[in-house]
Amino acid sequence: MKKVILFFMLLLSVAGIDAQSLKVAPSFTMNTPDGKSIVLADYVKGHKAVLIDFWASWCVPCRKEGKNVKAIYADYHSKGFEVLSVSMDNDAAKWKKAIEEESYPWAQVSDLKAFKSPICKQYSIMAVPCLYLVDENLNVIAINLRGEALRNKIAEICK
């Protein structure tokens, strides 16, 4: 059992290194709940900072952090902050229900492949929530900032 735990910890630490070494976020195209395609490279244009929020409807910490992101969005959207949420769900009905319940005002996309999505490998996503803060050129500014740390970084960028 100890070997399994040690292996899992090693795997997580290696995944963290991969995520931390990502300097430019890979662009991707995914659909909104109503079928509209969003291309990340186009979505980020004209914004000082864009938070790519990898989440899932069933993830309690994701939904809790979503409330924090909503508050930051309300304060900084007009100053150049944007959000794109990428769902790691595989059930469209549960995904859409969560979006409605949380009243997220920004774009939501998913390929409904959950952790089998190719995006998981591109972004080294092994768990959610996973947050990437990027600029309009997809340069990675920060990874996995939450709460006040996220607010402070957005405040610094969107003066």
Q: What is the CATH number of the domain that holds 88?
A: 3.40.30.10
Burial of 5 from C-beta contacts in 10 A (0-12 / 13-18 / 19+): exposed
SS3 of 124, please? coil
Question: What per-residue confidence (pLDDT) applies to 70?
Answer: 97
Confidence of residue 22 (pLDDT cuts 50, 70, 90): confident
How many structural domains does the chain have?
A: 1
**For residue 18, is pLDDT > 90?**
no
**For residue 2, is pLDDT > 70?**
no
**Cα end-to-end span (Å), the chain:** 50
pLDDT tens digit sequence for 119-139: 999 999 999 999 999 999 999
Burial of 103 from C-beta contacts in 10 A (0-12 / 13-18 / 19+): exposed
Cα(120)–Cα(41) distance, rounded to whole angstroms?
A: 18
Tally of residues, the chain: 159
> Exposure pattern of 115-147 as b/e (b: 16+ CB <10 Å)?
eebebbeebbbeebbbbbbbbbebebbbbebee
Confidence of residue 1 (pLDDT cuts 50, 70, 90): very low
Q: Which domain holds residue 62?
A: 2-157
Confidence of residue 21 (pLDDT cuts 50, 70, 90): confident
